[in-house]
Amino acid sequence: MTADLGFWVLQTLNALQLSMLLFLLSVGLTVIFGLMHFVNLAHGSLYAFGAYMAASLAGVLGYWGGFLLAPLAVAALGAVLYFTLIRSQRRAGPMAQVLITFGLIFVAVDATRLIWGDLPIGIAVPAVFEGQLALLGVTYPIYRLFIIALGLAVLAVLTLVLTRTQVGAMIRAGVDNDQMAACLGINVERMFFLVFVVGCALAGLAGAVAAPVLSVTPDMGLQILIPTLIVIVIGGLGSLKGAVAGSLIFGFVQTFGAVLLPTFNSVLIYALLAAVLVIRPEGLLPAKG
Amino acid sequence: MLDLTDVSSGYGETQVLHGLSLRAAPGRVLAILGRNGAGKSTTLKTIMGLLPAKGGSVSFGGRKISGMTPFDIAKLGIAYVPETRDIFRSLTVRENLDLAARRFPCPNGGWTIDRVIELFPRLGERLQNGGDQLSGGEAQMLAIARGLLMNPRLLILDEPTEGLAPIIVRLIHDKLAELKHQGLSMVLVEQNFGFATSLADDVVLVSRGQVVWQGTSAAIRADTDLQHRWLGV
């Protein structure tokens, strides 16, 4: 089986699809951490909220209505969270932040149960991406190729914004040293808010695109949290490149591990995480600050 | 221009300044001198809003600034060059300069990127280099240049000569003297007595978080007992 080119192409595409989903989630979380030094364990819950919103809105407005509005709904929820909890806890230290956002996970799980029930919700793939595409000797669902393309497009836009614009330079300066950035007349509080809300919107986008390929369940946010945290620890906190590298490593190790070393698959990524923590505790490509 | 009245401040539970009062006059250079741990850097951080004043008040241009954020204080016209220089390592030299230049444009004869490169030509050669690729001297030039691009009414510098080679110390001295002659008000914290007193008009001596002497540069240069007692010079 492994000698067949089709096998490698198929698994590579699967790995890329998982990586891009993780990238959409981890990039927001890592930049929020790098800039605000805030540990938001509820980031996975925002992803679940995005998936539920996409599923609900798709029933009324069709897939694209959900795809466009779910990230905005999650961004709005993020704004409410920012003003009610995040801003006041920003200087409270990691223990208070972890406890509060961990508590938020349980609130989110129960809230989704109350609103949407316990049963998994399915959502149809949009008509334009239905079916399969023949590619390098394999047929692959077009929708999954769309997820890969969307992840790459978001990566390209974020890279351009961060490296070519004033706002991007301000965010990188803030990740390096937020106090010095403030001393140069940069409104870091406004920047924190902007980055937090955009990070939430990206988590919502990840939930919306994942909804048609995964079952939308109340605990989906909790399930994705550990992989997302592994991605940002392996990649290096606070860095876009780190989020890309961590997502690709996780996606490929998890996907190829499942088929090549099924017996060890459940421990492979944790062994890699432990190795990174021992050899490079700051992660593979950390922010420079 | 800058008044500190009975200011108390410190780090967490540790109080470093115990009712410190000083005044910096416009168009003059004030040096804050004292032994290690006397509270000199703490004074600058408190002025800049990086540490909260737990007692007393800081005012600038007649306006109370204690309690304001560093962002608001920077907007009022105080530029800070920290001891650690704090160059943004993931930004190029040009991006570091740009950040300040775009926020504080001054159309009529103010500082521009071209003008700070005229002042420090070395920066012109390093514009595309990363902030993490600079020598100590280059980082100090960039930190001062970045402060000037804010077109400040007051420039505050914390240990600008620390860790620099003598030739760079002379260069920094000459450039700061040039800025002084152009009328820029400065507050300077410095361990290098000769450097500080040759630049400053006025001097305050700080010990254990309080001002123990104030006078002119000429007066402290002439008083070796005073130097020995408070500075160990």
- Contact by Cβ (8 Å): B32, B146: no
- Rounded Cα distance between B183 and B153, Å, is 10
Q: How does pLDDT run across A52-75, given as a tens digit for each residue? A: 999 999 989 999 999 999 999 999
Residues of B whose CB is below 8 A from A189: 69, 71
Which chain A residue has its CA at the smallest distance from B48's CA?
A: A183
* A288 touches B at CB < 8 Å: yes
- Rounded Cα distance between A133 and A131, Å, is 7
- Contact by Cβ (8 Å): A205, A158: no
**Angle CA B113–B115–B119, to nearest 5:** 115
pLDDT the model gives residue A208: 96
Q: Is B114 exposed, middle or buried (0-12, 13-18, 19+ CB in 10 A)?
A: exposed
Residues of A whose CB is below 8 A from B132: 288
pLDDT greater than 80 at residue A289: no
Residues of A whose CB is below 8 A from B99: 166, 169-170, 173, 181, 184, 186
Chain B: closest CA distance from residue A289 (Å)? 6
pLDDT the model gives residue A91: 80
Pick from A166, A177, A182: CB nearest B88? A177
Cβ within 8 Å, pair B82-A189:
no
Backbone CA torsion sign across A211, A212, A217, A220: negative
**Identity of the amino acid at B26:** P
CA distances from B6 to A287, B17, B59, B156 (A): 40, 9, 12, 20
- Reported ipTM: the value is 0.92
Give the pLDDT of chain B (233 residues) as one tens digit per residue.
Answer: 899 999 999 998 899 999 999 999 999 999 999 998 899 999 999 999 999 999 999 999 999 999 999 999 999 999 999 999 999 999 999 999 999 998 888 777 789 999 999 999 999 999 999 999 999 999 999 999 999 999 999 999 999 999 999 999 999 999 999 999 999 999 999 989 999 999 999 999 999 999 999 999 999 988 888 888 878 76
Cβ within 8 Å, pair B103-A189:
no
* A177 touches B at CB < 8 Å: yes
Q: How does pLDDT run across A121-134, given as a tens digit for each residue? A: 989 999 999 999 99
Going along chain B from its start, the domains and CATH numbers come out as 2-231 (3.40.50.300)
Pick from A185, A189, A287: CB nearest B103? A185
pLDDT over 90 percentage in chain A: 83
Q: How does pLDDT run across A210-239, given as a tens digit for each residue? A: 999 998 999 999 999 999 999 999 999 888
**Number of C-beta neighbours around residue A215 at 10 A:** 13
pLDDT the model gives residue A93: 85
Q: How does pLDDT run across A45-54, given as a tens digit for each residue? A: 999 999 999 9
CB pairs under 8 A between A and B: 73
Which positions ≥6 away from A279 have C-beta within 8 Å?
none
Residues of A whose CB is below 8 A from B68: none
Mean pLDDT over A147-168 rounds to 95
Chain B: closest CA distance from residue A203 (Å)? 26
C-alpha B19: how far from its chain's center? 21
Architecture of domain A5-279: Orthogonal Bundle (1.10)
Chain B: closest CA distance from residue A192 (Å)? 14
Pick from B48, B71, B91: CB nearest A187? B71
Interface probe for B, chosen from A183, A187, A239 (most Cβ of B below 10 Å), is A183
**B19: phi then psi, degrees, rounded to nearest 5:** 75, 50
pLDDT the model gives residue A2: 56
Chain B: closest CA distance from residue A196 (Å)? 19
Backbone CA torsion sign across A249, A250, A253, A255: negative
Mean pLDDT over A79-83 rounds to 96
pLDDT the model gives residue B224: 86
**Angle CA A131–A25–A255, to nearest 5:** 55
Which chain A residue has its CA at the smallest distance from B77's CA?
A: A185
pLDDT the model gives residue B223: 86
Cβ within 8 Å, pair B102-A166:
yes
